[in-house]
Structure 1
């Protein structure tokens, strides 16, 4: 049964709302989207299918967007509740059979204590520039997951923008180089240049400390794209099923190598609520 509920509209910055109201995020991750987005999507599936408890289990997909991950989770047999602050995303996710979608804020989840077997935050930490807000969102995840249940959160790596602009040869533009170098210094991404919206790009060691401060036990970290997203030819590789599997396997081999965590565009940090 698909359900949409509309509680109090959560607070979200205007520029973030405007960015996601364009509706581009869903297409970025699906087949036909940019190679880096597809690699991120497939590797997220790959990691989560190893971390999550067997289906059926109740998953809270916080900041789940249009439901691009909720959709395959439902197909895998999970019961999925999705919370997102963007009205368009709630409308899109509510169309997916088996998904309950509602408006909500990661820092104040519309869920009871220990109500879910798993909590995913595959986007909210991107758009909480203040550490206190990120810890609050993780503490909310800790509150609503059952004791012993996993919490998995995604972060954008600190130098993802620098790597991306080098790969696309935009780093040679002085204005873009200056903005990108500044993000590398402090992690705060603004709206200048129109490439993204307000966000925080984190160092790999930041998320584990924030998990701990939120009351979660850290279990591991997983670099999603490895170095593959930066290589020429990756689009052709991903379009060839045999080569795609080789790329995914190579990324899996180095996913938790500490010296390589920062080279991925995105990082998953996994933890559990103490029993």
Structure 2
């Protein structure tokens, strides 16, 4: 089975992406901060926004509700069906980030909030970013998410998973960034911050700023999932240190914001 088919099968048969943000408070922190950043960074509504790899519509739907003209593309047909079926419905179709079925310069902003960490080769990631550049107008934004190279080991520690197989995974990630699909997630790549910046630049993007989505205290939320005071403090610290270069890699997710020249 090729990687694309494996990823489709993972989300279609084994993993409920639609419920992901409800499963753990740290996931809720991710969603809340990503929405805050999108609200802050995107042009005023009604902007034309392409959501590539948008899943069932966790971001496309609230952006549609806010008045943006959103189109969602996703590799997984069931995600597309869910996006279309929700309220408000989202315009959606099946598509691959590496070859977008869209005309040049058709959008004010393009989101890549999932594809980069499922593309294991740098060439494919740069190709996906390049496609986002192609379909976005000059001066528009490309906003791309990545998983931090250190997210796995930090999560292992916060949730007390310190047995040998997780320590072996920590050693793997520090060397090549490739996730072991045998411990709960599908094939994926975990970025270092300079890699993400370099890939954006290679694709032709300028003025790249990387935000740490959950902030440095997301592990406290993972360790104390039932404490609302911990969640509130982590959220505020994430806001304070959002683009602090020395801390962004401590977040589980990175968000690169860049301009199409």
* TM tier, smaller: over 0.9
Q: 2:196 aligns with which of 207, 211, 232?
A: 207
> What CA deviation, in whole Å up to 9, does each residue of 1:195-236 have, x standing for no partner?
101000000111111111101113311101112211156533
CA distance in 1, matches of 2:69, 2:201: 27
- Which runs of structure 2 are paired with 1:1-275 in the superposition (5 Å)? 13-21=4-12, 22-29=14-21, 32-96=22-86, 97-171=88-162, 173-193=163-183, 195-231=184-220, 234-238=224-228, 244-274=231-261
In the TM superposition, residue 15 of structure 1 has moved relative to its aligned partner by 2.5
CA distance in 2, matches of 1:128, 1:190: 14
CA contact (8 A) 1:12 1:85 kept: no
CA contact (8 A) 2:144 2:255 kept: yes
CA contact (8 A) 2:197 2:208 kept: no
Residue aligned with 1:68, SS: coil
Residue aligned with 1:259, SS: coil
CA distance in 2, matches of 1:228, 1:101: 35
CA distance in 2, matches of 1:234, 1:48: 27
CA distance in 1, matches of 2:215, 2:64: 27
CA distance in 2, matches of 1:57, 1:14: 33
CA contact (8 A) 1:80 1:98 kept: no
**What is the aligned length?**
257
Residue aligned with 1:258, SS: coil
Taking structure 2 as the reference length, the TM-score comes to 0.93
Q: Which runs of 5+ in 2 are unaligned?
A: none
CA distance in 2, matches of 1:86, 1:146: 27
Give 4+ residue runs of structure 1 displaced > 2 Å after superposition: 11-15, 232-238, 243-249
| RMSD of Structure 2 on Structure 1 (CA) | 1.7
Change (3 A) 1:244 1:183: closer
Change (3 A) 1:105 1:15: same
> What CA deviation, in whole Å up to 9, does each residue of 1:42-100 have, x standing for no partner?
00011111110000011100000010111110111111100001111111111133411
CA contact (8 A) 1:23 1:88 kept: no
CA distance in 2, matches of 1:90, 1:19: 15
Q: Which runs of 5+ in 1 are unaligned?
A: 1-10
CA contact (8 A) 1:162 1:181 kept: no
